[in-house]
Amino acid sequence: MTEIILVHGIGQEHRSADWLESQWLPSLAGGVRTAGHPELADALWRHARPGTPTTRMAYYADLFRRADQQGSAADLVGLSTPDRQRVIDDLLAELIANAGARAQGPNDQREVEQALRVLRGDVPDAQGLGALARPLLNALLRIGPFARLGHAVAERFLVAALRQVTLYLTDPEIRQAAQQRVLSLVDVDTKVVIAHSLGTVVAFEALHRVDHPIPLLITLGSPLGMRTLIHGRLHPQPTCVPPTVKRWVNIADRDDLVASTLDLTPLFAGGDGVLENHSTVDNGSKPHEATYYLGKAVVGGPLAEVCHSGDGLGDPPATSASA
């Protein structure tokens, strides 16, 4: 029996489900507490006991492990099949376009223009996957949110994103196995699925295979709105709210370049569920950080409403505080 399922994003292959739960649950409890539900917050993290919501991390990052990973652009060279090259090019182009749309100041704009020149083939010697990836990565690393992370951290993040998104979209065995990690936890008692980053893609596709109601799906920093890279490659098509999901809450920081489309409603019309978008959260210097998202009342409020509606835990739902 798993009432709340958590689905992580990219770059977690050297961690474990237990470690991720230990990081996510305090933040999630904080979001619930901020939303006005202290008893439920304590039940989620401090005083878990029989009768309180069971929470588990759907862990799939081990599917991407490779013994010789370096955390640099060299990790992309082995992905240079034509289909995977297209995925990498699309992802880089989308990230650059997002950065250009949200560029703050002349330095950001200058780096975006340089990256666009590389994509157009205007830069000498930027041919082939390895040569293309390095100047694009260098440009992105100097732009706004990525620059604030620091060069080493941002490079690991971008390389992990390129590699893992590419493998998920082009390797049917990895795609199936990742979804199965979610489905193995879903049962008739599942009330909430909370997913971050690439995990929102995994959860979205997996929930299309569930045949019983899921009261709430929360997606954080989701790339589902990347029209060329992600949206057009989702299964099934045309895209809609998963049929058994009653309510879908999508949350994005406006500086989160992974969340390229802040309003998903036009892309996921149809289905019986309601899709709500919230793009007013501010995660500070780490706009894509999962735990920063989880600590917001805009996450804790909907979760509390679902938990209280079914089992009478704690106090009745209160009006959520602002995110």
**Strand pairing category for 55-58 and 192-196:** unpaired
Tell me, what's the pLDDT at 221? 96
As to burial, measured by CB atoms within 10 angstroms (0-12 exposed, 13-18 middle, 19+ buried), residue 271 is middle
Mean pLDDT of 231-236: 93
Distance CA 91, CA 239 (A): 20
Reported as a single tens digit per residue, the pLDDT across 88-141 is: 778 877 887 777 777 667 877 787 787 777 776 666 555 554 456 667 777 777
Residue with tokens 């878990």: 48
Q: At what angle do helices 172-183 and 198-207 cross, to 10 degrees?
A: 70
Selected residue with higher pLDDT from 165 and 52: 165
Distance CA 243, CA 252 (A): 23
**CA nearest neighbour of 222 among 167, 277, 179, 168:** 277
Computed from CA positions of residues 80, 93, 283, 9, in that sequence, does the dihedral angle turn out positive or negative? Answer: negative
Residue with tokens 């699925």: 193
Distance CA 164, CA 92 (A): 13
On whether the CB atoms of residues 158 and 137 are closer than 8 A, the answer is yes
DSSP letter string, 230-257: TGGG-SSSS--S-TTEEEEEEEEETT-T
What backbone phi and psi angles, to 5 degrees, belong to 275?
Answer: -105, 120
Tell me, what's the pLDDT at 21? 94
**CA nearest neighbour of 289 among 240, 318, 255:** 255
Token digits for 144?
């706004």
Lowest-confidence segment of 16-20, 56-60, 72-76 by average pLDDT: 72-76
Token digits for 151?
């060069």
Selected residue with higher pLDDT from 76 and 117: 117
Tell me, what's the pLDDT at 12? 92
Distance CA 323, CA 321 (A): 6
Class (C level, CATH) for 4-62+172-311: alpha beta
Segments of 31-157 assigned E as strands: 55-58
| Domain-wise residue ranges, the chain | 4-62+172-311, 73-170
